[in-house]
Amino acid sequence: MNMSQAATIHFEAAAVAPSHDATPRSAHLRETQSTMNKAVDVAVRFEGVSKQYGGTTVLHSTDLSVRRGEFVTLLGPSGSGKSTILNIISGSTPATTGRVFLDGEDVTLKPPRDRGLGMVFQNYALMPHMTVFENVAFPLKIRNWKADAIRTQVMATLEKVGLSGFAQRKPKELSGGQQQRVSIARCLVYSPSIILMDEPLGALDKKLRDQLQGEIKSLHRDIGTTLIYVTHDQEEALNLSDKVCLMNHGRIVQLGTPEELYFDPANRFVADFVGESNILAGTLVEAGVMQTKAGTRLRVNSRNARPGAAVELLVRPENVRLLNAGETASEDNVIEATVAELSFVGGRTRVAAMAGEERLLATRISARNDALVQPGQQVRLAFGQANALVLN
């Protein structure tokens, strides 16, 4: 039921219900009001929204709801449709089919300037001839705010993003991270109910990106606005989001919390895209038991798979342990393999090993002069049944 339908039912009930039928009428109105409240609690809603360019479909028919105050990240490879969704929400790209609702209002045909959205771009889009103060004040000036109110609001916003001492500097006098904060401040200053961010950290180095991720999370927690964020960086998406909307080929593949996508991926694409993964193919010979193509029998978390089905098994590298010589495994599964390569990545060391034709990754905490394993060495890899997830 949409907002207009709910409102129609509400008013019809008030007009025609007889006065002596108070109890049913009250119950009906309470139910209707509850439906309306749920609708209002949704900040962004797509109903059958799609986008075509000529004969090419870049976004298939999509239903999507984002609740007020949520931080939702649109994640996916290039060309997956995530930026198309953001552009349709902003109004810069018209939908080919379907309807778009913002805070319960149908804005499908509304121009961008009338949607009341905040937008943060990857390239900052700052005006170089203006000071930081003037850049941030610009949205308030075009809304005809008074000078005193502008100054109060701008300085309060600059303090929020840690730039209160930079008000009179020009953009060229700022670092890349500071310029991005000015861009965020310019968006926050007029308190939009919905903020869109299009890969705002994509041009920054990793250390600065990590720092600004923390600042964006803090800002979202402090201001409580709805935030829709586009990135192709899966670590960024998992770190920032209340929910992640993973896309591929113009479709939503899975929408859920970061934990749901990582620990309970809907299919192989999700498992592969979100984090590192070991995926083994085989047959489910009985409930909880799989035989790989190499003939190894494994205890698995088979969920709803039926015995006899061809299946794929997901095991995350951090759940694979290298056993010491002579060690008895406490895990359900042990696979013998040959170390193919070692990769030192700071605090972790990645061990790639071959079990026949199957390649398995294990990760372990790095140690100085660690000579536990070397390429060519025979090892035993162990993992538990609970961490061996059969994919749908």
CB 300 within 8 A of CB 289: yes
Distance spanning both ends of the chain, measured CA to CA? 32
Q: Which domains does the chain have, with CATH numbers?
A: 3-40 (no CATH), 42-268 (3.40.50.300), 276-390 (2.40.50.100)
Q: Dihedrals φ, ψ of 273, to 5°?
A: -80, -35
Q: What is the pLDDT of residue 101?
A: 97
Question: How far apart, in whole angstroms, are the C-alpha atoms of residue 103 and residue 45?
Answer: 8
Alpha carbon 306 to its chain centroid, in Å, reads: 32
* Cα distances (angstroms) measured from residue 90 to each of 46, 86, 202: 13, 6, 20
Read off the tokens for 65: 């709801």
Torsion of CA 381, 384, 387, 390, to 10 degrees: 90
> CA 74 to CA 247: how far, in whole Å?
7
- pLDDT by residue for the chain (392 residues), tens digit each? 443 333 333 333 333 333 334 444 455 545 544 444 455 599 999 999 999 999 899 999 999 999 999 999 999 999 999 999 999 999 999 999 999 999 999 999 999 989 989 988 877 789 999 999 999 999 999 999 999 999 999 999 998 888 989 999 999 999 888 888 898 899 889 888 899 999 888 767 788 788 888 888 888 888 888 999 999 999 999 999 999 999 999 999 999 999 999 999 999 999 999 999 999 999 999 999 999 988 899 999 998 789 999 999 999 999 999 988 888 889 999 999 999 998 888 888 899 999 988 999 999 888 776 666 889 999 999 999 999 999 97
CA geometry: angle 354, 360, 363, nearest 5 deg? 125
124: left (phi over 0), alpha (psi -120 to 50) or beta: left
Residue 215 neighbours by CB under 8 Å, 6+ apart: 161, 162, 181
Amino acid at 3: M
Q: Could you give the count of Cα atoms lying within 13 Å of 14 in the half-sphere of its Cβ?
A: 10
Q: Is residue 119 within 8 Å of 227, Cβ to Cβ?
A: no
* CA neighbor of 321 nearest in space, from 302, 303, 334, 306: 334
pLDDT computed for residue 3 by the predictor? 38
Spatial CA neighbour of 339 closest among 379, 294, 372: 379
The label of the residue with tokens 């999507």 reads: 64
Tokens read off for 52: 């075509």
pLDDT, residue 216, reads: 85
Which structure tokens are listed for 142? 């075009």
Look up the pTM and report it.
0.81
Which residues lie across from 71 on neighbouring strands?
227
Long-range contacts for 135-138 (Cβ within 8 Å, ≥24 apart)?
135/171, 135/182, 135/186, 136/182, 136/185, 136/186, 136/189, 137/189, 138/186
* Backbone φ and ψ of 202, nearest 5°: -65, -25
